[in-house]
Amino acid sequence: MKLKRLALTAGSGVLLALAFPDPHWSWLAWVALVPLLVVALEVRPGAAFGWGFLQGAVFYSITLEWLYAFFRSYGRMAVWESVSVLGLMVAVLSLFTAGYALGVRLMRRSGVGWALAISPFLWTALELGRTHMPAIGFPWNLLGYAVSDHLGLVQLVTLTGIYGLSFVVAGYNALVLWAWRERRRKPVAIWAGVTVALLLVIGVGGLFVPKPVGRETAHLIQLNLPPETDYGANWEQRHAAELNALDKLSIEAGRSAPGLVIWPEAPAPFSMSDPLFAARARKIARETDSEFLVGVDHWRFPPGHTPLVFNSAVMVNPKGQEVFRYNKIHLVPFGEYVPWRKYLTFARNLIGGVGDFTPGKKLSVGQLDGGKTFSVFICYESIFPNEVRKFVDRGADLLINISDDGWYGHSEALVQDLNMARVRAVENRRWLLRDTNTGVTVAVDPYGRIRARLPEDVRAALTVHYNFRSGRTLYTRWGDWWPRLAGLIACLALVWNFARRRPPLRVG
């Protein structure tokens, strides 16, 4: 029996991992939780917690394996250090699937039907908890992302954020098990009706999604600079030929069709405090007669204190004036700073070559020539739905994401990161211009279509057409209202489950 439960639980983790890139067999997400639910419902609460932890450990070990190479190359960590940090992350994240399995098992006191009915609320609430963990919140590959490539289905996120899509997938898993266990006409009919409805939305729903026409122009420059952690004093001299080629590429693109020119976050010591780079930025803006947006390190030197460095985006106008700056607010733990530094001393190597960044505090909304507004979010910030939607809620009519994903190498993380950033466009009904160092550089319309894309690992300019949009979606206005409501419902159900004195009810 234990071997069967091991196979079911580990199989659940494998099936769920295969639903994400790569290979992104998204149909598996609709049944991947069923084996875990089967086990959770038939064992004691403590065992359910343990089996849920195992499912999470299998899933995260597969989908986050790229972090090992990231820690080894970017952080220059020893093998044991890389394994330790990755193991710690997997263990913490697995606590949430363990909590899900435990909650389902506890609800079984009121009957299997009730346990399955509450399970999607539990899952959704726990995803919100995973997002908001102190310092190490990591909403990477939430369940809804597995099916977000279906154009008709993903439109739900304008109401609920990605969490609503997770709820639908988790709920369908519960429905499958309920219909299979009951094997009566009514449960099977309900399952069949829901399945047909979902197939229609997935199959033909995208045909009814509007396809807006872009009338503005931007040039996304994919730098294709090699990842480096030790720049050295002569970095600009060593890369002079590459930088000159990038200047030429940017200026030619901007002259061919006037419009915003963008450089991404880059593995380079770009800073407006550096006179040589500042002159380069002003030259591009002047010679294209357009605004130039670029990722830089921004330095501050408080009197009597240690200098502060921010991961920033700045914009220079055609007159050579710096007219916009955003300092990245949500830094990468173990990448741009070390949380709980005094306890995790071995992880200090992770920032040894880059610097210990200071988080920004202001949600910046900039203006382009003509008064149209935009906001920038940088790299890792793209996976936090509630943080990106705040830019739009404060008036941004266009979203720009700059990122250096070269650290991911050729791993599945490249597509996973793109998959999550794309949903931010749909949640807020904004065009998204995503410019990266090595890929994936794209333009995404407000409904989630990728309208233009560059191949990875090339140095090129992607000329894209987009629009500015006003108005706010329900998700933009209310943020994470749905997962919070799901959490409230799950908590009330658990309280009721233990407070009631009636015999268990049979649902269905």
Asked if the model's pLDDT at residue 40 lies above 70, the reply is yes
491 is annotated as an active-site residue: no
Query: β-pairing, 450-453 with 442-444?
Result: antiparallel
Asked if the model's pLDDT at residue 172 lies above 80, the reply is yes
pLDDT band at 430 (very low <50, low <70, confident <90, very high): very high
Between the CA atoms of 308, 310, 314 and 319, what dihedral angle is there, to the nearest 10 degrees? 10
Q: Provide mean pLDDT across the span 263-274.
A: 93
Q: Provide mean pLDDT across the span 239-259.
A: 95
pLDDT band at 75 (very low <50, low <70, confident <90, very high): low
pLDDT digit string (tens) for 177-204?
Answer: 999 999 888 999 999 999 999 999 999 9
Q: What is the pLDDT, as a whole number, of residue 508?
A: 45
Asked if the model's pLDDT at residue 103 lies above 60, the reply is yes
265 is annotated as an active-site residue: yes
pLDDT digit string (tens) for 347-371?
Answer: 555 545 435 899 999 999 999 988 9
Alpha-carbon gap, residue 262 to 386, rounded angstroms: 25
Query: β-pairing, 373-378 with 399-403?
Result: parallel
Asked if the model's pLDDT at residue 256 lies above 90, the reply is yes
pLDDT band at 78 (very low <50, low <70, confident <90, very high): confident
pLDDT band at 443 (very low <50, low <70, confident <90, very high): very high
Nearest to 218 by CA among 506, 456, 442: 442
Q: Provide mean pLDDT across the span 264-286.
A: 94
Tokens of 19: 């639903």
Task: State the number of CA atoms in the 13 A half-sphere of 263 facing the CB.
Answer: 29
Q: Provide mean pLDDT across the span 99-118.
A: 96
pLDDT band at 304 (very low <50, low <70, confident <90, very high): confident
Q: What is the pLDDT, as a whole number, of residue 229?
A: 67
Q: How would you class 378 by CB atoms within 10 Å of its CB: exposed for 0-12, middle for 13-18, buried for 19 or more? A: buried
Asked if the model's pLDDT at residue 232 lies above 80, the reply is no
CATH superfamily of 216-300+311-325+359-466: Carbon-nitrogen hydrolase (3.60.110.10)
216 is annotated as an active-site residue: no
Per DSSP, helices labelled H in 162-184 are: 162-182
Catalytic residue (choose from 81, 265, 381, 427): 265
Q: What is the pLDDT, as a whole number, of residue 354?
A: 39
Q: What is the pLDDT, as a whole number, of residue 368?
A: 94
Alpha-carbon gap, residue 366 to 382, rounded angstroms: 18
Q: Provide mean pLDDT across the span 296-319.
A: 92
Catalytic residue (choose from 127, 291, 336, 379): 379
Q: Provide mean pLDDT across the span 261-271.
A: 94
Q: What is the pLDDT, as a whole number, of residue 344?
A: 63
Alpha-carbon gap, residue 294 to 271, rounded angstroms: 10
Mean pLDDT of the chain: 92
Query: What are residue 279's phi and psi, to 5 degrees?
Result: -65, -40
pLDDT band at 408 (very low <50, low <70, confident <90, very high): confident
Nearest to 37 by CA among 110, 116, 93, 114: 116
Q: What is the pLDDT, as a whole number, of residue 353?
A: 43
Asked if the model's pLDDT at residue 504 lies above 80, the reply is no
Q: What is the pLDDT, as a whole number, of residue 337?
A: 79
Asked if the model's pLDDT at residue 230 lies above 80, the reply is no
Q: What is the pLDDT, as a whole number, of residue 349?
A: 56
Alpha-carbon gap, residue 421 to 436, rounded angstroms: 12
Alpha-carbon gap, residue 279 to 236, rounded angstroms: 13
Give the rounded percent of residues in the chain with a pLDDT score beyond 70: 95
Nearest to 376 by CA among 331, 337, 410, 329: 329
Q: What is the pLDDT, as a whole number, of residue 345?
A: 62
Catalytic residue (choose from 81, 182, 328, 412): 328
Angle between helices 112-131 and 79-107 (to 10 degrees): 150
Residue keyed to tokens 């991404």: 264
pLDDT band at 342 (very low <50, low <70, confident <90, very high): low
Q: Provide mean pLDDT across the span 443-472.
A: 97
Q: What is the pLDDT, as a whole number, of residue 160?
A: 98
The domain locations on the chain are: 2-208+480-499, 216-300+311-325+359-466
Query: What are residue 305's phi and psi, to 5 degrees?
Result: -130, 165
